[in-house]
């Protein structure tokens, strides 16, 4: 049930909802009405595009949405956020408030997904004590693989070897970079675009986390460790039929960056036909 409702007192019959529906399931019959409920992909474009907040779908009250006019971020400041975001590898030894993590995840779940599948699962470590135990567990498994000469070949083996030796010799955490929290995205393998959905969700999380003054780091070394110790994936509660997206460590930074880096120009291939 998609519960498509039109407030006829508010509706000005402009037809914007009909024009914008990507599935083409709304028709104008005096007022808009759904022609093919099964075809709806539940994207809420009808609710978002209505100039008079007359359309409700999925039980959502349009008056509860954030108005866009006057509320969008300034492009220059957003540019500074994008250019000023750094991979953070030094963190304060403190937990973020669980409510803040929930809020960031609820924002990240607004990221686009193929065919609006919205099936990305956010597996999160909310307490640093839990991440400490996970770190000990994973590094213990890696140490055993190392002793048995069974670390993977190539880059992965090199990094995982470093994870073990840095932890054992210096107590230095290369696995999670000393962060208090970890986020891993995954999505059902049979979703239309699970790989892309997973990465876009994490990138969206990263942007809002940095906008809120937090630090994040994409954690490829954690991904290598999970590939070397696949039994840990199930222990994390990630369903067996999910495609793993990526891992991201995050928390309150113990480092401050004072300026953007200077990259570019972008590598561009202009098509002429």
Ligand X SMILES: Cc1cc2nc3c(=O)[nH]c(=O)nc-3n(C[C@H](O)[C@H](O)[C@H](O)COP(=O)(O)O)c2cc1C
Question: Which residues in this chain contact ligand X in the complex, by CB under 6 A?
Answer: 86-87, 89, 177, 217-221
Closest chain position to ligand X (CB): 220
Query: Which of 46, 202 has the CB closer to ligand X?
Result: 202
Helix (H) / strand (E) containing 138 = helix 128-147
**How many of the other CB atoms lie within 10 Å of CB of 216?**
24
Element holding 29 (H helix, E strand): strand 26-29
7 versus 152: smaller Cβ distance to ligand X: 152
- Closer residue to ligand X (CB): 28 or 87: 87
At residue 7's C-alpha, the angle toward residues 116 and 11, to 5°, is 90
Nearer to ligand X, 48 or 195 (CB): 195
Determine contact, residues 187/119, Cβ cutoff 8 Å: yes
Closer by beta carbon to ligand X, 118 or else 177: 177
CA 11 – CA 127 distance, rounded (Å): 48
Beta carbons of 238 and 121 less than 8 angstroms apart: yes
CB-nearer residue toward ligand X: 118 or 210: 210
In angstroms, give the least distance from the CB of 50 to ligand X: 38
Q: How far is the CB of 177 from ligand X (least distance, A)?
A: 5
Q: How many CB atoms lie within 10 A of CB 119?
A: 17
The DSSP 8-state label assigned to residue 253 in this structure reads: B
Q: Is 245 exposed, middle or buried (0-12, 13-18, 19+ CB in 10 A)?
A: buried
Q: How far is the CB of 227 from ligand X (least distance, A)?
A: 12
State which residue, 87 or 189, has the beta carbon closest to ligand X: 87
Distance in Å, CB of 210 to ligand X, minimum: 10
How far separated are the first and last CA of the chain, in Å rounded? 46
Query: Is the link from the previous residue into 265 a cis peptide, with omega within 30 of 0?
Result: yes
Query: In the complex, what is the shortest distance from the CB of residue 75 to ligand X, in angstroms, rounded to a whole number?
Result: 20
Contact 141, 229 (CB under 8 A): yes
In the complex, minimum distance from the CB of residue 205 to ligand X, in angstroms, rounded to a whole number: 13
CB of 88 to ligand X, least distance (A): 8
């Amino acid at each position: 049930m998609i519960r498509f409702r039109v407030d006829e007192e508010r509706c000005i019959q402009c037809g914007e909802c009909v024009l914008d529906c990507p599935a083409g399931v709304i028709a104008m019959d005096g007022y808009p009405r759904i022609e093919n409920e099964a075809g709806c992909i539940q994207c809420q474009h009808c609710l978002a595009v209505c100039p008079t907040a007359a359309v409700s779908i999925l039980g959502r009250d349009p008056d509860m949405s954030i108005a866009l006019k006057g509320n969008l971020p300034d492009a220059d400041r957003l540019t500074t956020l994008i250019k000023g975001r750094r991979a953070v590898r030094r963190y304060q030894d403190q937990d973020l408030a669980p409510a803040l993590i929930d809020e960031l995840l609820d924002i990240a779940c607004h990221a686009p997904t193929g065919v609006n599948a919205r099936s990305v699962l956010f597996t999160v470590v909310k307490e640093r004590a839990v991440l400490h135990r996970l770190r000990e567990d994973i590094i213990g498994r890696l140490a055993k693989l190392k002793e048995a000469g069974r670390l993977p070949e190539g880059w992965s083996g090199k990094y995982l070897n470093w994870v073990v030796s840095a932890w054992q010799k210096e107590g230095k955490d290369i696995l999670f970079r000393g962060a208090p929290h970890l986020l891993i995205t995954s999505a059902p393998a049979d979703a239309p675009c699970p790989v892309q959905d997973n990465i876009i969700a994490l990138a969206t999380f990263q942007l809002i986390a940095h906008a809120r003054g937090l630090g994040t780091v994409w954690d490829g070394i954690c991904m290598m460790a999970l590939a070397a110790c696949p039994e840990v994936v199930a222990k994390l509660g990630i369903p067996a039929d999910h495609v793993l997206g990526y891992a991201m460590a995050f928390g309150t930074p113990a480092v401050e960056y004072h300026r953007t880096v200077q990259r570019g120009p972008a590598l561009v291939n202009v098509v002429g036909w």
